[in-house]
Chain A
Amino acid sequence: MADNAAELVSLTIDGVPLKVPKGTLLVEAAKQIKQEIPVYCYHTKLGPAGLCRVCLVEIEGTPKLQIACNTPVADGMVVRTQNAKVDAGRAMILELLLVNHPLDCPVCDKGGECDLQDYAMAYARGTSDLADPKTSKPKGVDLGPTIVLDEERCVVCQRCVRFDDIIVGDPQLVLKDRGVRDMIATASGDPYRHNFTGNVTELCPVGALTSKTYRFKSRPWDLDRTQTTCTQCSVGCQMFSDVRFGVPLRTMSVEHDDAISDGWLCDRGRYNIGFYDAKERITQPLYKRGDTFMQISWDDAFALWARAITDAIHLSGPQSVGTIGGGRLTNEEAYVAQYLFRALGVNNLDWRAGRQRQATPGSRGGTLADLERANAIVVLGDSPADRAPVLDLRIRKAVKRANATLVRVAPLDVSPVPSIDVVDVAQAAAALPATASSIAVVWDGIDAAAVERLLDALPENVTVRTYITSEQGNARGAETMGMHPRFAPGFAAAENGLDTEAMLAAASDGALAVLSIFGANPALRHPNGPLVRAALAKTPFVVVSELFMTESAKLATLVLPAKGAFEKNGTTLNATGDALPVNASLQAPEGVLSDLEMLVGLAEQLGVNLPAQEAVHAAVIEAIAQAPAFDLGDHAFRTRAAQAATIPADGLRVAVHSNVFAGDGTSAHDERIVALRPLAEALLSTDDAKVYGVSSGDRIDLEAGGLTLHNLSVAVRAGIARGTLVLVDGLATAPANSFAPGAVVRVVHVRKGDSTLVEA
């Protein structure tokens, strides 16, 4: 806030002398002496707006009351936040706010945690001269897939409007009409939709903006609150899980989580909590006999699993056993998983089940605060807006507030903040300002070679920080805990095992006897879908721990019902290397175990002694404390290079991109976020759209190697290279990995927007 933090200003508030940095606003200075100044429109993260006028204070020498939210401190200033004049001003503002605010507190979601209730109690007169009816405005306005608006309750603080503008950079909400008739609405009239909409329900000081998922569900004082870490992506936002009668009713951000979430949550993290009590959840181990699954007991499940492993090791050695997964486990679970399998001599361990190859940025990894302070930011690969939404808000903050230069290599989306979009790494390096002394590189852990080329092209005297946004929340934790064919915990050298690619290749050759998959769905997420399906079909004993019958679970021999993140305790390691607590707020359904409990059950059957809980905890902390000595391009990661840039002669080459709401597990089985899931889209370049005679909204069928994907919705995008067709990763309805990597597909049918069918 202050340009020069060292320069202090002395002032007196309510008789208490204090010194604060020059430029500090009175409303913030008063917090130092624990004197609360009421605010509606002011918000620490949004700054002053001067609209609600409730933060009135008296400043000696100024005849009129002043607003504390927009008054910077001055030397010798004498401020009174409480006296008859101030009280009268505030009482007037509250009386006025209540002229048209409906007194429907008994049925208002905000009741009990409402700033209008609280300040009315603290500052209002208690009586009113109001003798006329209140204005009538629309109630229950459907703003979009997530938010419902009660126009009558709105106090026009415009925090929601300013959030969209200042924080998100996508100013959808505006104030329409004027005077007492003014209303919050989207400027276009289109549904209010971006990845951060839920935050406006928390910013709203009253009950005007409410979440569809929580509306009329509970009184806040009836909720059991637990603070935990969101594990839906690798940012690690702190959040509250608010539970009533065993059902997670809502999540809330943690206001003081400046280091990680900056106080925000994305809509995936906030709203995707409805799967815990989904009826499709698996609640008993399932064992496949022939083509059908039968329910079995946990004892039988452990026995069968242990027997399969023992037999495999006995017959073909530990190299015939493999384990995939870890990015959805806690650090403790990942540690125990690798401990158990390594104890058996099994070195075929890999957390990687999707496209990502690397999760730990290595020696140049930065913090989120570093990211916010970077002079320039280069984004490579999948958009952080879809991989790590709240991290993307930091990028926007750096660009909007500190004028950082944002350079994006071959992006598929439109940046909400000014960006220089280039086609390759060489152009990216050239686009960076010569004055940039700190550069952040944000990538997706897929094509390390491209990042290396970029880093090589950067001047030597600049500070470079790298960031990897992961496909799964605890990818970095799993990697650090040694769920990796070359790393033991803490990146210590391990006896080499097969990585996921090699395991799948071995399995499809019939060389793998047991494959255990923990919290991963390679059948949908691995880029080579045909290989995964062949590998799982060929492997005699496949175990999958899951919440739902995913594509991988369907191909398993033994399916183990697993707990979700709100149902277990442990720690997770986020993209920037912060170890964060995962605290249980829910009771898991009966019959469901955590992956840790499964591993304990398996170890008992195998006769392996696992370390005690305290020892696991200590080992996890020690592993995290080991600073990774490697950087990009370490041979341990075997980079997955981007597809050849050649334009196929006949057809289109398939590429994929992430969408924050894609996935077939927690996202697919949550009725609360149905409207947020992405369409099965095929993104095409403008050129190819012309070639195929299609435009956005048309539907196409794709075919390659005898496989067909039906009814993909066409979206024409300028940023896409000619000859490339981009599919959404991880959509069960249209798996992007249906075809082999780099497959060239043919467009076989086109359905125009008016439903006429055209043979392509």
Chain B
Amino acid sequence: MNSLAFGILAFMLGVYVLLDGFDLGIATIAPLIGRSGAERESAMRAIGPFWNGNEVWLIAAGGALFALFPKAYASAFSGFYLPFVVVLWLLMFRGIAMELRGHFATKIWRDFWDAAFTASSALLVVLFGVALGNLIRGVPLDADGYFAGSFGFLLNPYALLVGATAVAALALHGATFAAMRIAGAPGDRAAALVPKLAVVVLLGFVATTGATAAIRWHDLPALWTGALPVAALVALWLAARNAAAARARAAFVASSVFLAALFAAAAATLYPMLLPGFAGAKGIGIFDAAPSTGALISAVLAVAVGIAVVGIYGTLVLLPQFREKVTINLNP
């Protein structure tokens, strides 16, 4: 049951990465694919119907962590206090930037909010990457399971490497989405960007995988999980190839598979811990953090039913309504 709870949580976060990944990624590359304000606006309109719903997965995953593993929730959220608050501010600021940009039609106003939108989105991805990096590396926990280290500790070279790789990987994901959803020049530029980004992602991927193996050499996950990075590499190659061959939808699917494989590999590395201790400190695992079995079963049921409903709704009802491509609005 505890492993199932871990799986549900990993699934929810994985879905979040795939979904919010493309809208954070498209924001990161918006200045590269859009030369004018109207062209950049097409990037925002491409994600307009989706981004809010995508973020709901983050909220839901936070709630699920609280119900399933209260101790890990308490320790992680209070231990990463300032980074978490900064993430909240960036999430809000990003939404406000998207909303405000349209209300005054002057160039300087729009340029400012476009830049704010890109910067806050990219910074969010860096912070998410840094958080993931520190989870894999381990954090110094005291005897009560609380985080006992500084902000500086979190910004270590390994975590920053993961953060940088995350920016590149989500930029690629966003580019495949843009190629699929936006008609005209910005969509073409996004497609052309995919193979270039794939090279950057490959470099980051190799460096991160090497560093991870070096950090976790004493505690490598089961051998079969080695298949995940291999699958990821194949998917990355397919994403670049399909994008170059103007098969945008296939490229987006391949990029999704790439991210899912990477995320699954990270989750497999972490399992069965939720917050591993750094340098021999005792960490918090799936059995330390969960409530009693009965309480856990009812929490798992509540969360699983909710996910099923939303997943079915999202794929059956919402997505088909937004099939048509976004075109550039020349008279905004």
Q: Do A and B bind each other?
A: no
CB within 8 Å of B: which residues of A? none
